[in-house]
Amino acid sequence: YEYLRTEFNNQTLKPTEDYFLIFFTYANQTYEVELLRTPYNNGFIFMANGSLVHKAGYWHSTSPAGYSYRDYIAGKPVK
pLDDT per residue over 48-71, tens digit each? 877 899 999 999 888 667 888 988
pLDDT per residue over 23-54, tens digit each? 999 999 999 999 999 999 999 999 987 789 99
What does the domain layout of the chain look like in residue ranges?
2-68
Contacts of residue 7, defined as CB under 8 A and 6 or more positions apart, other chains included, come to: 15, 16, 17, 18, 19
* Distance from C-alpha of 30 to C-alpha of 62, rounded to nearest angstrom: 17
C-alpha 17, offset from chain centre: 10
Cα atoms in the 13 Å half-sphere on the side-chain side of 4: 19
